[in-house]
């Protein structure tokens, strides 16, 4: 059994153990779940430390046949690009388990669900087979929806929670359906390209060149999958609802990991398999992300409800990550690692603080004049988290933001027509929105407390304070010593970008062919058929689209640039 397999199985084992405990022992159940999450974190750190960036492209492989007749296998492995995501999951889940209300009877199912969710997330990240990935994604979607509805019914339930969970399900489940459709589409395309061989291996599938129509349709399915889980403007409404009324632990985990995981799926599945569509749709996607960022930044200045503010901060911060993901820049992809880590850790802190306000019945930050005198720790921690999101120098957020902006500006011109516009606008929006958040917190904290505020609003307890301090400390440490993680993920990201450009180039060449235009082919078959093409894929792509800096390449264009996209 490899480490990758253990990393998936340990949370499942923890879930089974917690489920076996009596419901009357919530403290014991939470302690066991936390211990399991810490063991998982240890395994992830061990996996990362054992990863050799100069070694094999895929390390710690675990492959077992599942449905050989359909070419499906249980396949896990690490290529380096997923290490930041793994660390994010490993860090956020134990922190999320500790925040929220103290242990209470009836909590074990929530902990079982959280552990199962962690296992599913880890499996999504480590999966090397599209069906394994889809299976884990569906499990994660199911677990998330169920967990968000925790105690949403009955007399003791939280008002609005069931409705929020339903709303979230209404968005996520069509995405889950779209993923199934995508799986079938790609599998059939592979079978057609190889004369009837079924395989869902991600490495094999990324070696396919699909016809343009299939690429556009497939990428649209990916967008449906990702956009419903990210969230992306204007599909962010369910996220806001769950931030207002969802269970604290689940909200922290979903905000911290859920969106980042959707981006990961976009980069792992969407971009390599549909490079042509990904390249041509990068600008519209970046534009939507930037519009979302501007919208969220403005809302951050005006919003007074803590839960809604939290949701819009998440939307704001992910917008820059979306631009990075579609920019086709290796530097931006590398910067995405620390950026998402800062995102997850800061949002965990903000969730703890805003949900403590919710527990106290505070639905409007305007009611909190003088909050600093009543709950100084909560205010300080929230403001530090806000600074982390803005990109406090020396923190992981700063490193990530810097990497993304520089990467998009330097290398983003191949995918984005206006990399500077989108990159700078998104970064500026993040800064603007972060300032809005800080302003709201500052205004809530200053002044003398209103009469009765001390009795109404409570300070974060020691447990939650420790969690927030640890989260912020980790973000600082990773900002000060980013090399350990960046060094491991960089080669894989460079390879991924090279593959992306090559795939795009081959798709362009294949779409220019008169015969076999509507047929899926492997890169190898295409190379045999077309001869020496795509020797300099980036130059070929530039030449095809008439991008600046296009030099002459050996292969002449088969059609005018404007007619490439249908």
Partner 1 sequence: MIMLGLIADNAPTLVEQLSDTAPIWILLVGALALLLSNAFAREREPGFLRMLALLIVGVATIAAWLRIGNPIDDLGRFVLSSTLVTDHLTAACDLLALVALAGVVGLARERGTTRETTRRAFGEREPLLLLAGAGALICIHAGDLLVVWLGVELLSIAALLTMFAGHDAVGDPAKRSALLIQLIPGAIVSCLLLLGVALIYAALGTTSLDGFAGAATRVFAQWGGVQRWVIVLERYGAEIASQDPAAHQQARNEIVRGLAPAALFLPGLLLLLGGLLTKLGLLPFARRRELVEEAPLHVTALWSTVVVVALVAVLLRVFVGALHSPRLANEPYGWTGALPSVALVTGVWASVVVLRQRRLSRVVALLALVQLSLVLLAIVAAASFHGHIGVGSRYIAPTYEILWSRLAGDEAYTAVLVLLVSHVIATVGCFAAIGASRGFRGPEVRMQHWAGMAARRPGLAVAFAICLLSLVGLPPLAGFVGKLGVLRALAEHSAMRWMIIVVALELAVCAWVVLRIIAAMYFGDETVSEPGERAEPSLWPARIATAAALLSVGLGLFGQQLLVFARLPAAGGSFEPGDDDRLEWLEQRRVSWASEGQRAVVGDEAAELEAAELEAETESESQPESQPESQPESEQRSIAPAPAPEPPAEPPA
One of 85, 88, 98, 138 touching partner 1 (CB under 8 A): 138
| Pair type for strands 521-522 and 208-209 | antiparallel
Query: What single string gives the DSSP state of each residue in 31-79?
Result: HHHHHHHHHHHHHHHHHHHH--TTS-SSEEEEEEEEEGGGTEEEEEEE-
238 vs 292, which CB is nearer to partner 1? Answer: 238
- For 360-461, where are the alpha helices, taking DSSP H only? 371-374, 376-390, 396-411, 419-445, 453-456
| Per-residue mark of binding to partner 1, 417-446 (x: CB under 8 A) | ------------------------------
Stretch that binds partner 1, among 35-43, 163-171, 310-318, 346-354 (CB under 8 A): 163-171
Does 153 contact partner 1 by CB under 8 A?
A: yes
Which helix (H) or strand (E) segment holds residue 146: the answer is helix 130-148
Q: State whether residue 61 is helix, strand or coil.
A: strand
Q: Quick one: tokens of 277?
A: 């569509």
Of 325-344, binders to partner 1 (CB under 8 A) are none
Which helix (H) or strand (E) segment holds residue 534: the answer is none
Q: State whether residue 209 is helix, strand or coil.
A: strand
Of 21-50, binders to partner 1 (CB under 8 A) are 23, 50
CB of 149 to partner 1, least distance (A): 4
Stretch that binds partner 1, among 84-92, 196-204, 320-328, 425-433 (CB under 8 A): 196-204
One of 181, 380, 469, 547 touching partner 1 (CB under 8 A): 181
What is the spatial distance between Cα 158 and Cα 281, in angstroms, rounded to a whole number? 41
One of 34, 38, 204, 287 touching partner 1 (CB under 8 A): 204
**Burial (CB count <10 Å: 0-12, 13-18, 19+), residue 361:** exposed
One of 93, 139, 460, 502 touching partner 1 (CB under 8 A): 139
Q: Which residue has the tokens 């980036």?
A: 538
Handedness of CA 418, 504, 219, 206 (dihedral sign): negative
Of 247-286, binders to partner 1 (CB under 8 A) are none
Say if residues 139 and 57 touch (Cβ distance below 8 Å).
no
DSSP percent split of the chain into helix, strand, coil, nearest 5: 70, 5, 25
Q: Which residue has the tokens 């020797």?
A: 535
Task: Give the bridge partners for 127, in sequence order.
Answer: 76
Does 203 contact partner 1 by CB under 8 A?
A: yes
32 vs 387, which CB is nearer to partner 1? Answer: 32
Which helix (H) or strand (E) segment holds residue 24: the answer is none
448 vs 517, which CB is nearer to partner 1? Answer: 517
One of 131, 290, 382, 437 touching partner 1 (CB under 8 A): 131
What is the spatial distance between Cα 283 and Cα 329, in angstroms, rounded to a whole number? 14
Of 47-106, binders to partner 1 (CB under 8 A) are 50, 52, 54-73, 75, 77, 106
Count of residues that interact with partner 1, criterion CB under 8 A: 80
Does 532 contact partner 1 by CB under 8 A?
A: no
One of 27, 46, 197, 477 touching partner 1 (CB under 8 A): 197
One of 27, 163, 184, 213 touching partner 1 (CB under 8 A): 184
Identify the CA nearest to 121 among candidates 307, 256, 220: 256
CB of 241 to partner 1, least distance (A): 16
One of 95, 165, 267, 297 touching partner 1 (CB under 8 A): 165
CB of 251 to partner 1, least distance (A): 15
User: For the CA atoms of the chain, what is the radius of gyration?
Assistant: 24
Does 241 contact partner 1 by CB under 8 A?
A: no
Does 529 contact partner 1 by CB under 8 A?
A: no
**What is the DSSP-derived secondary structure letter of residue 63?**
E
Of 469-528, binders to partner 1 (CB under 8 A) are 516, 519, 522
């Amino acid at each position: 059994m490899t480490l990758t397999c253990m990393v998936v199985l340990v949370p499942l084992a923890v879930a089974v153990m917690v489920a076996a405990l009596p419901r009357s022992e919530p403290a014991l159940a939470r302690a066991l779940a936390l211990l399991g999450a810490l063991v998982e974190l240890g395994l992830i750190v061990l996996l990362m430390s054992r990863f050799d960036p100069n070694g094999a492209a895929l390390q710690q492989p675990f492959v077992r046949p599942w449905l050989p007749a359909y070419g499906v296998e249980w396949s896990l492995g690490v290529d380096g690009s997923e290490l930041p995501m793994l660390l994010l999951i490993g860090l956020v889940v134990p922190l999320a388990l500790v925040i929220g209300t103290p242990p209470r009877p009836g909590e074990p199912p929530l902990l079982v669900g959280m552990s199962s969710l962690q296992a599913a997330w880890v499996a999504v990240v480590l999966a090397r087979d599209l069906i394994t990935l889809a299976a884990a994604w569906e499990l994660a979607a199911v677990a998330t929806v169920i967990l968000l509805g925790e105690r949403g019914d009955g007399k003791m339930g939280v008002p609005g929670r069931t409705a929020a969970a339903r709303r979230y399900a209404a968005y996520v489940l069509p995405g889950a359906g779209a993923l199934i459709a995508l799986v079938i589409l790609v599998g059939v395309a592979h079978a057609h390209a190889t004369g009837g061989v079924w395989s869902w291996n991600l490495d094999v599938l990324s070696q396919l060149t699909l016809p343009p129509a299939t690429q556009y349709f497939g990428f649209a399915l990916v967008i449906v999958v990702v956009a419903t889980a990210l969230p992306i403007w204007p599909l962010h409404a369910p996220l806001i609802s769950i931030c207002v009324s969802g269970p604290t632990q689940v909200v922290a985990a979903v905000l911290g990991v859920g969106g980042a995981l959707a981006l990961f799926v976009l980069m792992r599945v969407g971009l390599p398999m549909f490079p042509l569509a990904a390249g041509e749709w990068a600008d519209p996607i970046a534009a939507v992300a930037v519009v979302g960022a501007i919208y969220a930044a403005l809302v951050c200045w005006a919003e007074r409800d803590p839960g809604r503010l939290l949701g819009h901060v998440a939307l704001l911060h992910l917008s820059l990550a979306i631009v990075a993901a579609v920019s086709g820049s290796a530097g931006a992809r590398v910067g995405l690692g620390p950026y998402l880590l800062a995102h997850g850790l800061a949002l965990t802190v903000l969730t703890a603080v805003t949900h403590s306000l919710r527990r106290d019945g505070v639905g409007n930050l305007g009611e909190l004049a003088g909050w600093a005198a009543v709950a100084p720790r909560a205010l300080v921690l929230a403001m530090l988290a806000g600074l982390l999101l803005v990109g406090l120098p020396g923190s992981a957020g700063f490193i990530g933001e810097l990497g993304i902006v520089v990467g998009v500006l330097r290398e983003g011109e191949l995918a984005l027509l206006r990399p500077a516009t989108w990159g700078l606008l998104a970064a500026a929006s993040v800064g603007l929105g972060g300032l809005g958040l800080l302003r709201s917190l500052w205004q809530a904290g200053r002044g003398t407390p209103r009469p009765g505020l001390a009795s109404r609003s409570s300070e974060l307890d020691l447990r939650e304070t420790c969690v927030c301090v640890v989260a912020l400390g980790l973000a600082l440490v990773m900002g000060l010593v980013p090399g350990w993680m960046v060094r491991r993920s960089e080669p894989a990201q460079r390879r991924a970008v090279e593959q992306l450009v090559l795939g795009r180039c081959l798709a362009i060449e294949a779409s220019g062919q008169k015969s076999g235009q509507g047929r899926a082919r492997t890169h190898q078959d295409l190379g045999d058929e077309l001869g020496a093409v795509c020797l300099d894929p980036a130059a070929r792509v530039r030449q095809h689209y008439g991008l600046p800096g296009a030099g002459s390449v050996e292969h002449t264009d088969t059609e005018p640039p404007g007619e490439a996209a249908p």
